[in-house]
Amino acid sequence: MVTSQQALKKYGAPSASNPNMVVWDVPAELEIGLIPKKIYCNKDMVGPLSTAFKKLISTKAVNELKTWDGCFNIRKKRGLTSMSLHSWGIAIDVNAFENGLNQTPKLSALFVSCFTTSGFDWGGTWTRKDGMHFQLSKI
């Protein structure tokens, strides 16, 4: 699992003007359902997110996407001292309202697999469950 130390080493200090950050103009064919039109994210997210979105659309799991709860956000992990990978724009949250920290995740196995087969780790399997959260599995 990617750690905040690895992210710091690879990308440098988190900042809105970090040179690794890009405004990804999501291709029109991927703007389905609640998938945003533009995402401010790390450049390394564009490939894996494109793949995950294509899978969400082709499997219709995209219909499960009820809220898009963001990518880039400089902050510590909730209740912890280490930085969240959101700080480098390499994590996203979805359906936060029903996949809260330490709650049993509501996302279907199909929805989750669209991400986990596209280069993401899912927080829903962690000891400290974070079912809304997907982050790059490698950087």
Residue number, 33 or 100, with CB nearest to Zn ion: 100
Give the residue carrying structure tokens 């979105």.
53
Distance (Å, whole) CA 9 – CA 13: 8
Q: Which residue in the set 35, 133, 136, 139 belongs to the binding site for Zn ion (CB under 5 A)?
A: 133
Candidates 101, 82, 92; CA nearest to 121 is 92
- Contact between 121 and Zn ion (CB under 5 A)? no
Binding mask 62-101 for Zn ion (x = CB under 5 A): -----------------------------x-x--------
Give the residue carrying structure tokens 């790059």.
136
Candidates 128, 131, 58, 138; CA nearest to 90 is 138
Residue number, 44 or 93, with CB nearest to Zn ion: 93
Binding site for Zn ion (CB under 5 A): 91, 93, 133
